[in-house]
C-alpha cells in the first residue's frame, strides 16, 4: 500500500449544523478522510495542516456505508462508501476554518 501524503489523508471538512454544534460545545471537528487512512495518520495530518502540535486528544473513525437507490426492480449505488473522522481537540483550541 503506498504511503499517503498529508494532504491526501484529509479530503475535506464536513460542515453541517450538527458538526458546527459539536465544534462549539464539545470541541470536536469532523473530516472526510481517505478510506485507507488510519487514526495515527489522521492525527498527524490535522496537527501538521492546522498547526496544532500536541493539541489533538482523540480521533474516532467510521466508514459511512454506500447509499443505494432503486429504479423498478434494479438497485444501484447513489453514492459510494466513505470514511469519516471525528477529531477531538484540547479545551481552548479551535480550528479557524470552522469558525464560519
Q: What is the pLDDT of residues 51-74, one digit of tens each?
A: 998 899 999 999 999 999 999 999
- Which residues lie across from 84 on neighbouring strands? 32, 62
Average pLDDT for 4-33: 93
Nearest-angstrom CA–CA distance, 61 and 40: 11
CATH class of 6-91: alpha beta
Q: Indicate the pTM of the whole model.
A: 0.87
Nearest-angstrom CA–CA distance, 51 and 22: 21
Domain ranges of the chain: 6-91
Amino acid at each position: 500500500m503506498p504511503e499517503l501524503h498529508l494532504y491526501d489523508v484529509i479530503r475535506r471538512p464536513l460542515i453541517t449544523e450538527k458538526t458546527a454544534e459539536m465544534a462549539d460545545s464539545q470541541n470536536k471537528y469532523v473530516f472526510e478522510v481517505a478510506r485507507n487512512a488510519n487514526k495515527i495518520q489522521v492525527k498527524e495530518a490535522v496537527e501538521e495542516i492546522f498547526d496544532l502540535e500536541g493539541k489533538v486528544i482523540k480521533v474516532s473513525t467510521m466508514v459511512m456505508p454506500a447509499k443505494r437507490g432503486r429504479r423498478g426492480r434494479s438497485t444501484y449505488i447513489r453514492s459510494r462508501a466513505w470514511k469519516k473522522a471525528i477529531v477531538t481537540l484540547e479545551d481552548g483550541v479551535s480550528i479557524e476554518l470552522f469558525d464560519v
